[in-house]
Chain A
Amino acid sequence: MTHPDLRTSGAFSQRSSQPAQLADVLERVLDKGIVIAGDIQINLLDIELLTIRLRLLVASADKAREMGIDWWQGDPFLSGGRDGNGALEQRLKRLEAAAGIEGDGDE
């Protein structure tokens, strides 16, 4: 492992508390926080990250692919490897319908 890790390259010690849920961390560090354009642009920042796994899968797969974000494709659960092809998408639609949630039509 030659690439530096932010955690060890900084002078901060790690505080031991129970680790936060990854979803909560991603939601905050990728989708919240002040947005100031650095020299290196991350396309990822333009989208609502927390829901990336679902929204990208269901609604904006093409946009995501365009942005180079396609890691759910390697995720056996989300790519349908477990449920069979397309089954998750259908399941989602059922869940959304049951919960009275409409898909975002804002893209």
Chain B
Amino acid sequence: MSVVAEQTAWYVYGVVESSLASRLEARVVEEGELAAVVDSVSLTVFGEEALEEHLNDRAWLETHARAHQEVLQEISLAGPVVPFRFGTIYHEADDVRGMLRARSSELAAALARVRGRVEIGVKAWAGQAPVQPAAAPSTGRAYLEQRLGAQERARAATAQLAEAARDSHLRLLSRAVEGVANRPQPRELTGRDEAMILNGAYLVADVDPIRHEIEQLATDYGTQGISFELTGPWPPYNFVDEGGDQ
């Protein structure tokens, strides 16, 4: 053969139970009770060096991160899935089987944890505090007092927002099986004028109670300029790795 066959590897999206695997229109690698949902990918794209290069290509990263999410979203609609982090790649199907064998109890426990549950994302946003127009200070002392007063108000406002975020998280937790408050996304990333004060993820069996709680929170905190946003349902990314946050 003069043409070298393209080298491929196995990209793993996540793991499901074998019983679910047969109902998915997806490529799977099975081992015992577990099945990895996989794709065959080219090593010219997903090889170590190529990957490092691609990860710096924002368009590439966006396309493939979204693809990863969409596949997991599709699976999660069919049944419990343990989402793998982006870019988990094995050279051979046998390596995937080996992983399933070696991690079988951990994966089975993770599947049990998320069975019949979905992840809901909740963000709380604080609007910009209106700037009080102040009269120009006439003396140095007045200027200093004005500045100190402004600092004091800013501190109080920040404390109030922190308390609102904490209270919101606790109330949302009360409607969830589990929850985690992740680092709020910075403005440079959200592209919004409002500041994100809560970036929570909640594992729920039923979306309605948490949805109602969000509505209630929006009512309670609306006067403070805080608004809430629900995202998802997501595959349970935040609730499958014991080594993760918390």
Within the complex, which residue of A9, A24, A32 is in contact with B244, where a contact is CB–CB below 8 Å?
A32
B125 close to A (CB within 8 Å):
no
With beta carbons under 8 angstroms apart, the residue of B51, B237, B240, B243 that contacts A29 is B237
B205 at the binding interface (Cβ < 8 Å): no
**By the criterion CB–CB under 8 Å, are B241 and A32 in contact?**
yes
Q: Known contacts being A33-B240, A36-B84, is A7 close to B65, with CB within 8 Å?
A: no
Say which size band chain B's interface belongs to: 35 or more
Within the complex, the shortest CB–CB distance from B42 to chain A, in Å, comes to: 6
Q: Tell me if B4 counts as interface (CB < 8 A to partner A).
A: no
Assembled-state Cα–Cα distance A32/B54 (Å): 20
Once bound together, how far apart are the Cα atoms of A42 and B46, in whole Å? 10
Do B85 and A12 touch (CB < 8 A)?
no
How many whole Å from A62's CB to the nearest CB in chain B? 16
Closest to B91 in A: A39
Question: Could you tell me if B85 and A30 are in contact, using CB atoms closer than 8 angstroms?
Answer: yes
In the complex, besides A6-B11, A22-B62, A48-B183, 17 extra interface pairs with C-beta distance below 8 angstroms are A9-B41, A11-B25, A15-B77, A20-B231, A21-B231, A28-B69, A28-B83, A28-B238, A30-B85, A30-B86, A32-B240, A34-B110, A50-B182, A53-B188, A71-B55, A92-B188, A100-B159
Which residues of A does B touch, CB under 8 Å? 3-7, 9-15, 19-36, 38-45, 48, 50-51, 53-54, 68-71, 74-75, 77-78, 88, 92, 95, 98-100
Cβ-closest 6 pairs across A and B: A7-B67, A32-B237, A33-B85, A6-B67, A28-B237, A38-B88
Residues in B lying within 8 Å of A, measured CB to CB: 9, 11-12, 14, 25-27, 39-42, 44-48, 51-52, 55-58, 61-74, 77, 82-91, 95, 99, 103, 107, 110, 121, 154-155, 158-159, 162, 182-183, 185-190, 195, 231, 234-235, 237-238, 240-241, 243-244
